[in-house]
Amino acid sequence: MSKIQLLDSRLANQIAAGEVVERPASVLKELLENALDAGSESINVDVEQGGVKLLRVRDNGHGIEREDLPLALSRHATSKIRGLEDLEAIGTLGFRGEALAAISSVSRLTLASNVEGEAEGWQVQVEGRDMAPSVTPAGHPRGTTVTMRDLFFNTPARRRFLRTEKTEFNHLEEVFRRIALSEFNTAFRLTHNQKVIHQLPAGLDDTLRAARVAKLCGKGFMEQAIPVDVERDGIRLHGWMGLPTFSRSQADLQYFYVNGRVIRDKVVNHAVRQAYADVLYHGRHPAYVLFLELDPAMVDVNVHPTKHEVRFREQRMVHGFLYSSLHRAIAEVRPGQESAPAVVEEALSVPMSAPTQGSMSLSAPSGRPYAPPASSGGFGYGQGMRQADAYGALVQPQVSEAAPSEMPPVSEDETVPPLGYAVAQLHGIFILAENQHGMVVVDMHAAHERITYERLKQSWSDDKVRSQPLLVPVSLAVSSREADFAEEQPDVFTRLGFVVERAGPETLVVREVPAMLRNSDSESMVRDVLSDLLAQGSSERIEQKLDELLSTMACHGSVRANRRLTIPEMNALLRDMEATERSGQCNHGRPTWTQMSLKDLDRLFMRGQ
């Protein structure tokens, strides 16, 4: 007997199922993608026992013709691609043609469908060892229903790897959430053991879309999220990104979509991390729901059986676009700079979401700027902060000892700055201020640290990166690929303040380094930059080193705790916060201010109860 045998179709499909079907959640992902590709406007999902006993997906899409039903359960059968040109620019969620065949090989599966204009529908089942399809009439409206029962009934080894009903349903619900967030124009419904879990109407306007995000990601996320919508060079990024103050201990609220497909990608993750690097507390993770739209030919989705991973053809361009867009969006969040969109507030009040936010406000009507009396000299941070003299010796601040200037109480009709007016200093640490919403508490050192840091960064940027020649050039042994890159892209290193030359097939020589980093390990920095550039097309390591140094300078150059400030000095600090990018967080990611509304204070003292 020949040692090489052809696998029978059922065994081949069960092997393929090992790549596609891991648990009920995997089945739901494939079925929902098929339903969306069919142009469905409404999708109902019914689940029993976490999806192991029953998983039914019903849609009102285009449906499947009677003669195509048996083919639909065949391996490598699909209506979504015809040739190589389709594969190189995929515009559908599914395309491999393996899902239904794989699912039917490890469960009891029934597929019923009907197309527009037909009086009755048809259903197909597979039976027997050879999986011969059986087609029979079935009453069914336009659309398709896929019913899967008893997952892994014929593969007990796989079934033993399933977890508890609650765990399996949690995985299944997460898949439902990911897909429902990507297709706002489709209505979704999810039931578990005959109980409705999610009822999501189609998001035909911005309010309903925001309400769906609030429902699936939580009211707290939408209350502390800012909308993003940037388009450049044929690429568009839109969605919502959480404020740094809404950071998470786990990366459990991060949804990124490329042309409607939820993905995980190292280029995307790196760009997002870098955008939040300056404002996120150590060890915390940002939250976001973001959508990237670009030409399908610019992204390869055929790199993984589950289609969770993609490969961008222009990684450096995509990374730069994401980083610059998100970095700028975060920078523009400051007191009084950005108002919460009315559509978000309206969305939080629709029936399927929670009530609107009543706490921290990042904006207020712009009012008259406060200028300290001429006699006080103020606490002008252009002069009063510790400044870097050519990034060298620090100049001590000159603090006015003028008497406090009394501010009149804030009336409801008065237009005041977003952070209001200072009324007192608490224990030499916090500034208490009054604005139209209630009471503002500011950590004066953290706030001043951010202001100083941003000004040092701007000063450094304006002065550009100055290089310093090394007395003894540093020689590096690298791979030929790295040496080729350094030789072909010298401008990349020049922009960062390095002069790197090729001295051999696998040798580089570093002749100049950034002046501020002259005492750093230049060899390690160049190696790290090369590694980043080859892996993801860009590197921010030098900027990170510079930022770390400037951050340290800002920390030492900021007003310290237990320092008594006058009222004009406090107000000058508040005004500078309103004008400074990223002033909501200090250099280490900690919040610099918080708001307590009058409602919060009334509740605290049980007023009106």
DSSP string, 10-67: HHHHHHHHHHH-SSHHHHHHHHHHHHHHTT-SEEEEEEEGGGTSEEEEEE-SS---GG
Domain holding 504, by residue range, is 381-609
Question: Can you give the CATH number for the domain in which 336 is found?
Answer: 3.30.230.10
Residue 19 lies in a domain: yes
Q: For the chain, list residues with pLDDT below 70.
A: 1, 10, 13, 16-19, 76-77, 79-92, 94-97, 127-131, 302-307, 336-414, 463-465, 496, 516, 536-546, 549, 553, 556-557, 561
369 located within any domain: no
What's the rounded Cα separation, in Å, for the pair 528 and 189? Answer: 48
- Are 60 and 32 found together in one domain? yes
Are 454 and 314 within one domain? Answer: no
Both 230 and 163 in one domain: the answer is no
Q: Does some domain include residue 606?
A: yes
Same domain, 494 and 522: yes
Domain match, 138 and 28 both: yes
pLDDT of residue 18: 65
Q: Are residues 336 and 431 in the same domain?
A: no
Tell me: do 584 and 478 sit in the same domain: yes
Residues 84 and 163 in one domain: yes
Q: Is residue 372 part of a domain?
A: no
Cα distance from N-terminal residue to C-terminal residue, the chain: 88
SS3 content of the chain, % helix, strand, coil (to 5): 35, 25, 40
- Residue 350's pLDDT is what? 67
Q: Cα separations (Å) of 538 from 94, 317, 457?
A: 31, 9, 20
**pLDDT score recorded for residue 310:** 83
* The overall pTM is greater than 0.75: no
Give the total residue count for the chain: 609
Residues 56 and 196 in one domain: yes
In this prediction, residue 555 carries a pLDDT of 76
Within this chain, do residues 187 and 249 fall inside the same structural domain, yes or no? Answer: no
Domain at 60, CATH number: 3.30.565.10
Number of structural domains found in the chain? 3
Strand 387-388 versus strand 394-395 pairing type: antiparallel
Contacts of 558 (CB under 8 A, 6+ apart): 385, 386, 445, 448, 449, 451, 452
Domain boundary among 165, 183, 200: 200
Task: Say yes or no: 186 and 143 in one domain.
Answer: yes
The pLDDT assigned to 359 comes to: 31
Report yes or no on 276 lying in a domain.
Answer: yes
* pLDDT score, position 119: 82
Same domain, 385 and 342: no
Assigned domain for 359 exists:
no
Q: What is the largest CA-CA distance in the chain?
A: 104
State residue 239's pLDDT score. Answer: 96
